[in-house]
């Protein structure tokens, strides 16, 4: 089939490459010419493990190309909207990019063949109808006749995006249009239930977990839109719960890692998303909880549990700052080395990361900050121009003259740091590991005082 994907970001570039790997002819459309050029030269416009090689293979096979023009919409059987939906200051989703993509589709759409327009962006309930009416207005076509709009929320996680798109747990499709439903089943068929990718085995990752048969779930547009927000908010609540439990474990002298492991053995609860952290963050959970909350208030049905998770999450950031302050007595004149600026490992995405809140808390209390991230420093710096941070070229360098090293993101390379050498550079040998990621290391032997979150004293 012929597919157009509007938006060459974290979702669009992965989605486009995955449909190309399924044998479809894909054009990714982005208004940012630099992203278009990168794809056409066989490189990924974002950092995502494995994506460079996959895009290169698909471009070489002539199944994938990119453009900053909407011409390919004319030939497309299916056109995805995968543009950003950032938060507005009041927390509601800003649909400006979605509206402009819908208008451009309306101008370019072919009047003589049926096209399915699919919302893949995370959008508030009712947006499929809004997209349909804008396309109707621009094209003069009637929704349901020569085009139909469907909702197909995306559930991929950054850092594991290829595994998630090639081996999904579920595909959710929301449309009341029978022809659109048929076309989308055909589009997704090659991706469903695949365990091997034959000639593409070198560019499609092997699954890292036992796979269940993916569920292809069909519903109406609004329910599909709602499923996305409710899923993300549920996961945020789950993490906030274990983070609050971690604080209690600390007071009670119990070990939150063992508690989470034991709790997660109940198949009704599950082991995932019970990893302690300095709080959830990133380009999705903060904005999606904010939109869901504002919708809930608008309709007089506030989701107080989600609000509690948001508040608890903020206090988790503060808790980490306070833990460092308590240990060092004061932060005035102290230097803190920060490891990790992205909201999780294996991404360069530094949008709405916990590091900005925590670093700004440290600076407010009088500390100076040196920081390192393997992929996210450039974006972090651009998004946080007001934070006075000394950016380091290695993790080791953050230890120079430091009174404490604070690990925020559990990048693999931080497990290989030479702590003996780091100890020599540090003024005060203290480490706070907010992911309990390095707890197994022989800290006492190295003469470093190590703290995790909710795990008590480490031998």
Ligand X SMILES: O=c1ccn([C@@H]2O[C@H](COP(=O)(O)OP(=O)(O)O[C@H]3O[C@H](CO)[C@@H](O)[C@H](O)[C@H]3O)[C@@H](O)[C@H]2O)c(=O)[nH]1
Beta bridge partners of 87: 93
* Cα 371 from Cα 355, distance rounded (Å): 10
* Cα 396 from Cα 284, distance rounded (Å): 30
> 80, 166, 285, 419: which one contacts ligand X (CB under 6 A)?
285
* Cα 5 from Cα 28, distance rounded (Å): 5
> 3, 21, 29, 336: which one contacts ligand NAD (CB under 6 A)?
29
Most distant CA atoms of the chain, gap in Å: 74
Residue 32 binds which one of ligand NAD, ligand X, none, with CB within 5 to 8 A depending on kind?
ligand NAD
Q: Which residues contact 436 (CB under 8 A, 6 or more apart)?
A: 256, 257, 276, 452, 453, 454, 455
* Cβ closest to ligand X, residue 239 vs residue 362: 239
> 30, 119, 136, 154: which one contacts ligand X (CB under 6 A)?
154
298 known ligand binder: no
344 known ligand binder: yes
Does 125 bind ligand X (CB under 6 A)? Our answer is no
* Cα 134 from Cα 445, distance rounded (Å): 66
Cα-based distances in Å from 427 to 83, 337, 418? 46, 11, 16
Residue 77 binds which one of ligand NAD, ligand X, none, with CB within 5 to 8 A depending on kind?
none
Q: Beta strands 2-6 and 170-174: pairing type?
A: unpaired
> 47, 147, 166, 343: which one contacts ligand X (CB under 6 A)?
343
351 known ligand binder: yes
Pick from 309, 312, 293: nearest CA to 301: 293
Stretch binding ligand NAD (CB under 6 A), from 8-16, 49-57, 360-368, 375-383: 8-16
Does 65 bind ligand NAD (CB under 6 A)? Our answer is no
Q: Beta strands 170-174 and 115-119: pairing type?
A: unpaired
> 11, 162, 227, 242: which one contacts ligand NAD (CB under 6 A)?
11
> 273, 302, 365, 400: which one contacts ligand X (CB under 6 A)?
273
* Cβ closest to ligand NAD, residue 257 vs residue 294: 294
Task: State the CB neighbour count (10 A cutoff) for residue 19.
Answer: 26
DSSP code string of 213-243: PPEEEEE-HHHHHHHHHHHHHHHHHHHHHHH
Using DSSP, state whether 1 is helix, strand or coil. coil
* Cα 371 from Cα 318, distance rounded (Å): 18
* Cβ closest to ligand NAD, residue 57 vs residue 284: 284
Does 281 bind ligand X (CB under 6 A)? Our answer is yes
249 is catalytic: no
307 known ligand binder: no
What stretch of H or E contains 147? strand 147-151
Stretch binding ligand X (CB under 6 A), from 103-111, 278-286, 319-327, 364-372: 278-286
- Binding to ligand X (CB under 6 A) within 205-244 occurs at 232, 235, 239
> 158, 255, 291, 373: which one contacts ligand X (CB under 6 A)?
158
**Of the listed 249, 284, 320, 392, which one is catalytic?**
284
* Cα 129 from Cα 133, distance rounded (Å): 6
Residue 343 binds which one of ligand X, ligand NAD, none, with CB within 5 to 8 A depending on kind?
ligand X
Helices first, then strands: H and E counts in the chain: 15, 14
Residue 378 is encoded by which pair of tokens? 């450039």
Residue 7 binds which one of ligand X, ligand NAD, none, with CB within 5 to 8 A depending on kind?
ligand NAD
DSSP code string of 52-88: HHHHHHHHHTTSEEEESS-GGGGG-SEEEE----PBP
The count of residues interacting with ligand NAD (CB under 6 A) is 27
* Cβ closest to ligand NAD, residue 287 vs residue 410: 287
* Cβ closest to ligand X, residue 27 vs residue 409: 409
* Cβ closest to ligand X, residue 122 vs residue 127: 122
Does 93 bind ligand X (CB under 6 A)? Our answer is no
* Cα 14 from Cα 165, distance rounded (Å): 8
> 6, 102, 224, 274: which one contacts ligand X (CB under 6 A)?
274
Stretch binding ligand X (CB under 6 A), from 72-80, 270-278, 424-432, 450-458: 270-278
Annotated binding residues for NAD(+): 30, 35, 85, 122, 158, 287, 351
**Annotated binding-site ranges for substrate:** 155-158, 228, 273-277, 344
Chain positions contacting ligand NAD, by CB under 6 A: 6-12, 29-32, 35, 82-85, 97, 100-101, 104, 121-122, 154, 156, 158, 283-284
Residues marked active site are found at: 284
């Amino acid at each position: 089939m012929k597919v157009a994907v509007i938006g060459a970001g974290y979702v669009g570039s992965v989605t486009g490459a995955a449909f190309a790997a399924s044998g479809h002819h894909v054009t990714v459309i982005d208004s940012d010419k630099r992203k278009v050029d990168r794809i056409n030269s066989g490189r990924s416009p974002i950092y995502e493990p494995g994506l460079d090689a996959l895009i290169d293979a698909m471009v070489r096979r002539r199944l994938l190309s990119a453009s900053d023009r909407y011409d390919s919409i004319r030939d497309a059987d299916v056109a995805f909207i995968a543009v950003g939906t950032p938060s507005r200051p009041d927390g509601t989703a800003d649909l400006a990019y979605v509206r402009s993509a819908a208008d451009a589709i309306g101008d370019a759409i072919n009047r003589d063949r049926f096209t399915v327009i699919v919302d893949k962006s995370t959008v508030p309930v009712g947006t499929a109808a809004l997209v349909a009416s804008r396309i109707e207005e621009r094209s003069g076509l009637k929704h349901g006749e020569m085009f139909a709009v469907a909702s197909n929320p995306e559930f991929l996680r950054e850092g594991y995006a290829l595994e998630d798109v090639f081996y999904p747990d579920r595909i959710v499709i929301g449309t009341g249009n029978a022809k659109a439903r048929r076309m989308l089943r055909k589009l997704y068929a090659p991706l469903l239930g695949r365990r091997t990718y034959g000639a593409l085995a070198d560019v499609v990752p092997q699954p890292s977990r036992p796979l269940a048969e993916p569920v292809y779930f069909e519903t109406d547009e609004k329910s599909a839109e709602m499923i996305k927000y409710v899923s993300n908010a549920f996961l945020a609540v789950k993490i906030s719960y274990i983070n609050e439990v971690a604080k209690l474990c600390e007071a009670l002298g119990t070990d939150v890692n063992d508690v989470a492991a034991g709790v997660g053995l109940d198949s009704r609860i599950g082991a995932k998303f019970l990893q302690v952290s300095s709080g959830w963050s990133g380009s999705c959970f903060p904005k999606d909880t904010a939109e869901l909350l504002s919708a809930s208030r608008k309709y007089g049905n506030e989701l107080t549990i989600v609000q509690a998770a948001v508040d608890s999450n903020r206090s988790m950031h503060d808790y980490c700052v306070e833990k460092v302050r308590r240990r060092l007595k004061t932060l005035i004149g102290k230097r803190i080395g920060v490891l990790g600026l992205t909201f999780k490992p294996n991404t360069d995405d530094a949008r709405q990361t916990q590091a900005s809140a925590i670093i700004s808390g440290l600076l407010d209390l009088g500390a100076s900050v040196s920081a390192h991230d393997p992929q996210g420093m450039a974006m972090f710096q651009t998004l946080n121009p007001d934070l006075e941070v000394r950016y380091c070229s290695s993790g080791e360098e953050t230890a120079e003259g430091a009174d404490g090293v604070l690990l925020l993101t559990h990048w693999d390379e931080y497990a290989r740091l030479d702590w003996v050498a780091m100890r020599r550079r540090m003024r005060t040998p203290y480490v706070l590991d907010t992911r309990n990621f390095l707890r197994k290391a022989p800290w006492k032997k190295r003469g470093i005082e190590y703290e995790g979150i909710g795990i008590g004293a480490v031998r």
